[in-house]
């Protein structure tokens, strides 16, 4: 029996495993890097061991230090979570060689699926349908997909539509894969565009029983990373579901699988093609848990202890949808900084690695939380999610909350018409005529609420004549207005038809056309922002000072760092002529490569950084003098 479990991971998955351990009476051990010293998963474990350093290679990817942590804490078992070392056969062997219980599949199974090239060969032998592998130097057809042989999560993956891009994208994929997984091997296969990404949950014990717990639809993706997942898939027939589950069982039996795993497929029409097998728990496992009424982490632990599964799995009931809440801007660029407020409530399940006040580090994946809705039918699950997301209080860093609401309320999504091109520029989400994500709230009311709350706060803080109304004049020459970077509003006199029911520094209630709306207002001196939460979402506003201080102006043509990161490569020198869209340099942040490109044709007049340098968001990277005709 397992008595003390170390989770070789961080964030929400560590907390998720700890919750199940608590219900089973298993003592828990967290490991943490220096940036994670104050993270919630550290505080929630019974014991915690520091892994000195910040970078994953020095901490969560360092096998020796994690085994040292096991010895120091007295752990007798290891759960790898997902990501990091979860699909590393060497780590699995090292854990077993140390006499510990490995909560995962046999190292041989991990190794068999650890190389996607080898995995495809084995799946062909097992009768599982696969896409052909192409020559990385001359694939002979386009478009193609360059993929990392190791790892996943969209890292080391590139779409190539022409021969002229091939060499550059293959090299970029190799670098990113080597950085993320320690293995730069890539392969190329045909791109099956606008297919569904469907995966089957498997669970196997040591006694020969292999379960399939239905399928998950994971087609809505950005940068090849999943954003929305659901169970069951809205676009899979009973006959196709049976084919997928049979293929998943053949895959698991072929490699002698034990534990929880996922077999992923592309589905287009009646065509099915094996993508990969993830030899670990998936990020999206909660949707399966809700539909099948199981705790997959508990089953993992029981199988690791040698228990036998019942002959048949439980029957499904209802529908579950999960969204991944990321710290990222509208261009999918990861964000870092202090998450000043994090509150997600309602009839949903929330798995998060953060809390109010958490520091979002540039060293790790930018996912803040998973929010999962469950209902008797799909529409009910979606409705619960939309309501929870709109009412969530998320202050301090940009998030993809608005994108998630837009996806969930899009008619194509509502109809189950999803595919891997859903978020592409020509996909359903970008058809403005189909966007029904707005709740009908007046755009000006959150700004007006912010102005009234700030005025009330100013009166509360007043040291003299505090009894006079704010902005009082015995001869008024102009209306009172508030200016923000994003908008400007006149709040005295009030806009026509608006009545103030109450206006306090932190809450304003307004009525227009007989409808009352409540606005919660929060201000943070650290960043000067004002956040107005209301039933339709949140307005983030930046007040403009009445008498602005002189500011340092950035030279025209400056390329600014969109996020903190490390300069991976500089591709130009002063004096070089560049064209619009040409790569100037490459930043590495949150385990991904980000290409910084020229905004227009011009000449590079200065380069302010060099390879290996750490830069902060907003730092000037280079200056390009635009060419004029």
If you average pLDDT over residues 619-624, what whole number do you get? Answer: 91
Q: Would you say residue 440 has pLDDT above 50? A: no
Count, residues in the chain: 629
Does a cis peptide bond (omega within 30 degrees of 0) precede residue 143? yes
CA distance 124 to 130: 7
CB 621 within 8 A of CB 564: no
Q: Would you say residue 63 has pLDDT above 60? A: yes
Q: How far is CA 461 from the centre of its chain?
A: 40
Please give the structure tokens belonging to residue 163: 């021969």
DSSP codes of every residue in 468-480: SPTT--SS--S-E
Q: Give the rounded percent of residues in the chain with a pLDDT score beyond 90.
A: 72
pLDDT digits 0-9 by tens, 470-480: 555 665 667 88
pLDDT of residue 434: 52
Residues with Cβ within 8 Å of 475's Cβ and at least 6 positions away in sequence, in order, are none
Work out the mean pLDDT of the chain and round it to a whole number. 91
pLDDT digits 0-9 by tens, 308-331: 999 999 999 999 999 999 999 988
Lowest-pLDDT choice from 116-130, 167-181, 215-229, 368-382: 167-181
pLDDT digits 0-9 by tens, 444-455: 999 999 999 999
Please give the structure tokens belonging to residue 29: 């051990």
pLDDT of residue 253: 98
Strand partners, 221: 226
CA distance 102 to 118: 23
DSSP codes of every residue in 202-252: EEE-TTS-EEEEEEEEEEEEETTEEEEEEES-TT--HHHHHHHHHHHHHHH
Confidence of residue 591 (pLDDT cuts 50, 70, 90): low
CA distance 180 to 147: 13
pLDDT digits 0-9 by tens, 536-571: 899 999 999 876 666 556 777 888 888 788 898 899
CA distances in angstroms from 280 to 74, 85, 160, 560, 613, listed in the order given:
24, 10, 29, 39, 35
CA distances in angstroms from 118 to 62, 82, 150, 157, listed in the order given:
25, 21, 10, 17
CA distance 603 to 586: 18
Q: Would you say residue 136 has pLDDT above 90? A: no
Strands 4-7 and 77-79: parallel
Lowest-pLDDT choice from 150-154, 243-247, 611-615: 150-154
CA distances in angstroms from 545 to 10, 379, 483, 588, listed in the order given:
41, 46, 8, 35
- Three-class SS state of 4: strand
CA distance 269 to 236: 9
pLDDT digits 0-9 by tens, 283-309: 999 999 999 999 999 999 999 999 999
Confidence of residue 387 (pLDDT cuts 50, 70, 90): very high
Task: List phi, psi (to 5°) of 311.
Answer: -60, -40
pLDDT digits 0-9 by tens, 392-401: 999 999 999 9
Task: List phi, psi (to 5°) of 261.
Answer: -160, 175
CB 621 within 8 A of CB 610: no
Q: Which range, 243-257, 548-562, 583-597, is most confident?
A: 243-257
Please give the structure tokens belonging to residue 373: 């809705």
Q: Would you say residue 424 has pLDDT above 70? A: yes
Please give the structure tokens belonging to residue 103: 């909560």
Q: Would you say residue 436 has pLDDT above 50? A: no
Please give the structure tokens belonging to residue 357: 């006040």
Q: How far is CA 406 from the centre of its chain?
A: 16
CB 370 within 8 A of CB 322: yes
Strands 225-231 and 358-360: unpaired
Residues with Cβ within 8 Å of 205's Cβ and at least 6 positions away in sequence, in order, are 258, 303, 307, 308, 309
């Amino acid at each position: 029996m397992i008595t003390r479990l170390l989770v070789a991971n961080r964030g929400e998955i560590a907390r998720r495993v700890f919750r199940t351990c608590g219900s089973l009476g298993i003592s828990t051990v967290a490991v943490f890097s220096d940036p994670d010293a104050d993270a919630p998963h550290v505080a929630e474990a019974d014991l915690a061991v520091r892994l000195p350093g910040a970078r994953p290679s020095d901490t969560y990817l360092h096998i020796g230090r994690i085994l040292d942590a096991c010895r120091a804490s007295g752990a007798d078992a290891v759960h790898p979570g997902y990501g990091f070392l979860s699909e590393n056969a060497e780590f699995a062997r090292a854990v077993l060689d140390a006499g510990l219980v490995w909560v995962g599949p046999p190292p041989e199974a991990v190794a068999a699926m650890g190389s996607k090239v080898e995995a495809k060969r084995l799946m062909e032998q097992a009768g599982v349908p696969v896409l052909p592998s192409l020559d990385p130097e001359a694939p002979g057809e386009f478009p193609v997909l360059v993929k990392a042989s190791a790892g996943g999560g969209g890292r080391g993956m590139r779409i190539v539509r022409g021969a002229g891009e091939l060499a550059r994208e293959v090299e970029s994929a190799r670098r990113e894969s080597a950085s993320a997984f320690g293995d730069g091997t890539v392969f190329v296969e045909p791109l099956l565009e606008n297919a569904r990404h469907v995966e089957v949950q498997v669970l196997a014990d040591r006694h020969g029983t292999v379960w399939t717990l239905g399928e998950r639809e994971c087609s809505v993706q950005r940068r090849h990373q999943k954003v929305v997942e659901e169970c069951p898939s809205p676009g899979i027939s009973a006959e196709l579901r049976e084919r997928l589950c049979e293929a998943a069982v053949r895959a698991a039996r072929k490699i002698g699988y034990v534990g929880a795993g996922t077999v992923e497929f592309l589905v287009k029409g009646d065509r099915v093609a094996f993508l990969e097998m993830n030899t670990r728990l998936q990020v999206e496992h909660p949707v399966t848990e809700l539909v099948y009424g199981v705790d997959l982490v508990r089953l993992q632990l029981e199988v690791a202890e040698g228990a036998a599964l019942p002959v048949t799995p439980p029957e499904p009931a209802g529908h579950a949808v999960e969204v991944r809440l990321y710290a990222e801007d509208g261009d999918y660029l990861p964000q870092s900084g202090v998450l000043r407020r994090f509150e997600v409530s309602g009839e949903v399940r929330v798995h998060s690695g953060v809390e109010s006040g958490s520091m979002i580090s540039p060293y790790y994946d930018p996912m803040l939380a998973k929010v999962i809705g469950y209902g008797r039918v799909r529409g009910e699950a979606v409705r619960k999610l939309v309501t929870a997301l709109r009412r969530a209080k998320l202050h301090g860093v940009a998030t993809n909350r608005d994108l998630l609401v837009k996806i969930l309320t899009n008619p194509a999504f509502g109809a189950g018409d999803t595919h891997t091109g859903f978020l592409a520029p020509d996909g359903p989400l970008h058809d403005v005529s189909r966007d029904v994500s707005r709740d009908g709230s007046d755009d000006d009311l959150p700004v007006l609420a912010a102005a009234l709350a700030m005025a009330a706060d100013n009166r509360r803080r007043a040291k003299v004549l505090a009894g006079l109304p704010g902005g009082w004049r015995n001869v008024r020459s102009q209306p009172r207005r508030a200016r923000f970077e994003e908008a400007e509003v006149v709040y005295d006199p009030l806009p026509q038809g608006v009545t103030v029911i109450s206006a306090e520094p932190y809450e304003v209630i307004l009525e227009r056309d007989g409808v009352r709306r409540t606005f919660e207002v929060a201000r943070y001196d650290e960043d000067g922002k004002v956040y107005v939460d209301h039933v339709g979402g949140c307005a983030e506003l930046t007040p403009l000072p009445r008498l602005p201080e002189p500011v340092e102006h950035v030279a025209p043509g400056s390329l600014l760092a969109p996020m903190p990161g490390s300069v991976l490569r500089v591709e130009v020198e002063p004096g070089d002529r560049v064209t619009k869209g040409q790569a100037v340099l490459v930043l590495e942040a949150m385990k991904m490569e980000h290409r910084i490109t020229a905004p227009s044709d011009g000449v590079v007049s200065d380069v302010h950084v060099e390879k290996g340098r750490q830069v902060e968001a907003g730092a000037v990277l280079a200056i390009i003098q635009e060419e004029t005709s």
